Amino acid sequence: MKQDAIQLRVIQSLSDITEESWNALLRPDAGPFLKHAFLSALEETGCVGGNTGWQIAHLIAEDSKSRILGAMPLYLKQHSYGEFVFDWAWAQAYEQNNMRYYPKALSAIPFTPVRGPRLLVSATANKNLIQGILISGLKKLVTQNALSSAHVLFPEDGELEELQKQGFMLRDSVQFHWHNTGYQDFEGFLAALTMKRRKNIRRERAAVASHQIRYRHIPGSIASKEDWTFFYRCYKNTYVEHHSSPYLTEECIQLLGSSVPENLHLIIAMQDERPIASSLLVVDQMTKTAYGRYWGAIEHIPCLHFELAYYQAIEYCIKSGIQIFEGGAQGEHKMARGFLPTTLQSAHWIEDPGFSNAVKRFLEREHAGMAAYIDELEQHIPLKSSKVLP
């Protein structure tokens, strides 16, 4: 198919296209966060769109018969919250030069720092052609709408290469992931750690156990409305304690619980038969990956966060054959709990040539600093043997 036979359009809601046509663009290993049900839940419950600063602008590639050949999840952002790749300094530099940084174009999963496809292509289409058209279309959207820039967060490696070909600059970030190397149980995992880390984890677990806590592991398929209501109470309380506002609404959590239950696993901590804390995993059985998303408590118990968000999750992963547990953005403290540093990249295109050159120099310096940081982190790997490193 020739390039001039493909048209691009922007849709302001996923409801503008069918769930089947969107999901048909997803490979089996694309992950749960790109599902039509997941993204549309954010839209339907007002977590994005409206006055949230996340204007919906998904980019769609179609042929002359209006058949969808490709797509890019896309938002026009009025701020940089909920992204986990921090560009506040870039925005400040624009402001100091009497220029507008916002709105900017952002291809990402809102509030979710997870790597995955961003350039979605039908299995029947020419992958390189459609990806190229989506990227050039994104740049044209920036220019025609007087936006400052375009940002593609945590795309796959092959997509990074295509983005670089069209002038996008790459930026490194570090996350901490747990890897299952065939552990039979939690004690097997502990045995793989250095003595210092093993003793620390046992001490933390004993501290929580002294409060007579038990745990309910609830697959999303059987979680009740009351379970999700309690989870949201905990989730919201975490933000309140940090003098902030939650990104998600209870309506969104309830909708996700009913629309993608197969991808959710809820853990609730009980004391004297009362629920006091909870954490949520998003699970992809296709890739055997779990994602730690949210945690919260209504009562403070020392080390309960580590137990509920990490150790109970690791036990679940071992029991369920999950190979990778992504603990979310940042958090060096995760290394002390058996997680390893992992480098991810994002891609950025700045429309103004002067600022683009300045950002390029900044990213070159940051890349060198990040490499040194990773080297330092690897000196503190919690495993006894580097032979089990991924």
Assess whether pLDDT exceeds 60 at residue 128.
Answer: yes
d(CA 254, CA 231): 10
Per-residue confidence band for 5, with pLDDT thresholds at 50, 70 and 90? confident
**Least confident span in 3-12, 107-116, 155-164:** 3-12
Mean pLDDT of 262-268: 98
Assess whether pLDDT exceeds 80 at residue 216.
Answer: yes
Cβ contacts of 143 within 8 Å, gap of 6 or more = 351
Assess whether pLDDT exceeds 90 at residue 370.
Answer: yes
The model scores a pTM over 0.75:
yes
Assess whether pLDDT exceeds 90 at residue 194.
Answer: yes
Q: What totals of helices (H) and strands (E) does the chain contain, helices first?
A: 12, 15
State pLDDT tens for residues 292-301. Answer: 999 999 999 9
Q: What is the mean pLDDT of the chain?
A: 95
CB 215 within 8 A of CB 312: yes
Per-residue confidence band for 388, with pLDDT thresholds at 50, 70 and 90? very low
d(CA 357, CA 366): 14
State pLDDT tens for residues 240-253. Answer: 998 999 999 999 99
State pLDDT tens for residues 322-344. Answer: 999 998 777 889 999 999 999 99
Q: Which conformational region is residue 331 in: left (phi greater than 0), alpha (psi within -120 to 50 degrees), or beta? A: left
Mean pLDDT of 114-132: 96
**pLDDT given for residue 57 in this prediction:** 98
Per-residue confidence band for 89, with pLDDT thresholds at 50, 70 and 90? very high
Per-residue confidence band for 390, with pLDDT thresholds at 50, 70 and 90? very low
d(CA 259, CA 342): 31
Assess whether pLDDT exceeds 60 at residue 387.
Answer: no
Assess whether pLDDT exceeds 70 at residue 138.
Answer: yes
Assess whether pLDDT exceeds 90 at residue 3.
Answer: no
Per-residue confidence band for 21, with pLDDT thresholds at 50, 70 and 90? very high
How many Cβ atoms sit within 10 Å of the Cβ of residue 212?
9
Assess whether pLDDT exceeds 90 at residue 288.
Answer: yes
**pLDDT given for residue 1 in this prediction:** 60
**pLDDT given for residue 2 in this prediction:** 64
d(CA 228, CA 143): 43
Per-residue confidence band for 386, with pLDDT thresholds at 50, 70 and 90? low
Q: Which domains does the chain have, with CATH numbers?
A: 3-172+344-377 (3.40.630.30), 181-322 (3.40.630.30)
Assess whether pLDDT exceeds 80 at residue 161.
Answer: yes
d(CA 11, CA 222): 34
**pLDDT given for residue 137 in this prediction:** 98
